[in-house]
């Protein structure tokens, strides 16, 4: 992750006090911030510091020091922290950046981290099939149990906000997330998987936590029902656009074959470009997809053939357009929210997730 930058963020209503930026290199300060994610980080720098403090505090375990050991690399490494920033931005653009928004932002990050830990178990199992080292097994145990611990901590933290509505929203998101992951297990590798199932899977994978993150931020800031619906719609559409873009980039976007592409193909995951190609397949093409996806019998040149089929049916381009349509939907949802520099940045974030596709 690039260092936080200032620039347009200086125009925001509540710029972080200068001392918050002491750790940041001068070169970073002198650059004009371009990526909307960095502008979001700059606009929410003070709040994110508070979120990080809550995360460090609540991640600790009095009895089991292994817990922070396991989570530290995940949480400290940080990732992009987009989800907690969505919560903070939603609360702040509705006029509230109080302690409850900070706690909910940390809650959202805990849920995300727990999901990553459990995904590790699910993914490692297949990738390292046949060679379960003691280390792998230890990791599996720790991943499952520490993930459970983070989830429990998340529910403790969210109850502190004193809103059952918030708890219900995040519990619902958790159910959609795990349901989507189970669905992916069963839907994967079956050509019967259509776009409806795909949408459910990516809502579980990405959009459910994005929408809940936005929604609960609004809830503690006293959003009206219409504003809450707008925040949900924004997060949902942003998450769908984000995941569709990711799935398209796995095939190199609309461009030709590059390096490191085709991971989903090799793992026989049915993502939108393939689903659309299967829908348009003739008998020969269907036999090809059945062999490489359903049977997993993949040979030299199959990825290239898959790409050729997707290009001939225009499914990469169709996926790109679909992702753009969802990004448009995300931006449109923002119009029901008050004017605010953060609202503009959120709109730019929606643009950005699909801008990398063209």
Residues lying near a second copy in the complex (CB under 8 A) are found at 61, 63-67, 118, 121-122, 125-126, 129-130, 132, 134, 137-138, 140-142, 144-146, 148-149, 151-153, 155-156, 159, 162, 164, 167-168, 170-172, 174-175, 177-183, 185-186, 197, 200
**Cβ 231 to a second copy shortest distance, Å:** 20
Quote the tokens at residue 87.
Answer: 């919560």
- Residue number with CB closer to a second copy (34 or 61): 61
Eight-state DSSP code of residue 12: S
What 3-state class would DSSP assign to 159? helix
Distance (Å, whole) CA 142 – CA 146: 6
The answer to whether the Cα torsion of 32, 38, 44, 46 is positive or negative is negative
- Residue number with CB closer to a second copy (185 or 355): 185
Question: Inter-axis angle of helices 45-59 and 66-77, to 10 degrees?
Answer: 160
**Cβ 186 to a second copy shortest distance, Å:** 5
- Residue number with CB closer to a second copy (11 or 185): 185
**Cβ 73 to a second copy shortest distance, Å:** 16
Distance (Å, whole) CA 38 – CA 29: 12
**Cβ 254 to a second copy shortest distance, Å:** 30
Distance (Å, whole) CA 78 – CA 81: 6
**Cβ 170 to a second copy shortest distance, Å:** 8
- Residue number with CB closer to a second copy (38 or 109): 109
Total number of residues shown for the chain: 358
* Triad 147, 182, 297: Cα angle to 5°: 115
What 3-state class would DSSP assign to 192? coil
Distance (Å, whole) CA 212 – CA 167: 10
**Cβ 190 to a second copy shortest distance, Å:** 12
CB-based contact 7:42 (threshold 8 Å): yes
CB-based contact 345:40 (threshold 8 Å): yes
- Residue number with CB closer to a second copy (297 or 304): 297
- Residue number with CB closer to a second copy (72 or 137): 137
- Residue number with CB closer to a second copy (120 or 285): 120
Region of residue 268 (phi > 0: left; psi between -120 and 50: alpha; otherwise: beta):
left
* Triad 282, 286, 292: Cα angle to 5°: 150
**Cβ 212 to a second copy shortest distance, Å:** 12
**Cβ 200 to a second copy shortest distance, Å:** 5
- Residue number with CB closer to a second copy (60 or 321): 60
Q: Which residues does 291 contact at the CB level (< 8 Å), separation at least 6?
A: 297
């Amino acid at each position: 992750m690039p260092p936080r930058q200032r620039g347009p963020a200086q125009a925001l209503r509540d710029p972080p006090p200068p001392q918050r930026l002491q750790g940041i290199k001068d070169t970073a300060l002198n650059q004009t911030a371009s990526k909307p994610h960095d502008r979001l980080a700059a606009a929410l720098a003070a709040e994110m510091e508070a979120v990080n403090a809550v995360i460090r505090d609540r991640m600790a375990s009095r009895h089991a020091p292994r817990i922070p050991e396991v989570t530290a690399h995940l949480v400290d490494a940080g990732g992009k922290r987009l989800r907690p920033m969505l919560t903070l931005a939603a609360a702040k653009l509705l006029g509230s950046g109080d302690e409850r928004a900070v706690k909910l932002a940390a809650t959202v990050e805990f849920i995300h981290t727990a999901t990553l830990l459990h995904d590790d178990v699910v993914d490692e199992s297949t990738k390292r099939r046949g060679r379960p080292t003691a280390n792998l097994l230890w990791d599996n145990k720790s991943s499952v149990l520490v993930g459970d611990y983070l989830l429990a901590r998340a529910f403790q933290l969210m109850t502190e906000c004193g809103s059952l509505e918030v708890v219900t929203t995040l519990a619902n998101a958790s159910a959609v997330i795990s349901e989507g992951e189970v669905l992916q297990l069963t839907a994967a590798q079956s050509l019967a998987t259509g776009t409806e199932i795909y949408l459910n899977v990516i809502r579980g994978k990405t959009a459910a936590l994005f929408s809940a993150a936005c929604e609960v931020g609004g809830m503690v800031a006293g959003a009206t029902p219409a504003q809450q619906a707008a925040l949900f719609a924004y997060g949902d559409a942003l998450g769908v656009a984000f995941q569709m873009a990711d799935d398209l980039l796995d095939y190199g976007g609309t461009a030709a074959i590059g390096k490191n592409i085709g991971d989903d193909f090799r793992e026989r995951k049915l993502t939108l470009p393939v689903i659309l190609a299967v829908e348009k397949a003739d008998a020969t093409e269907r036999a090809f997809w059945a062999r490489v996806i359903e049977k997993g019998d993949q040979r030299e040149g199959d990825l290239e053939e898959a790409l050729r089929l997707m290009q001939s049916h225009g499914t990469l381009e169709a996926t790109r357009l679909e992702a753009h349509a969802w990004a448009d939907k995300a931006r449109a949802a923002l119009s029901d929210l008050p004017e605010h520099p953060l609202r503009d940045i959120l709109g730019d974030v929606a643009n950005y997730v699909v801008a990398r596709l063209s």
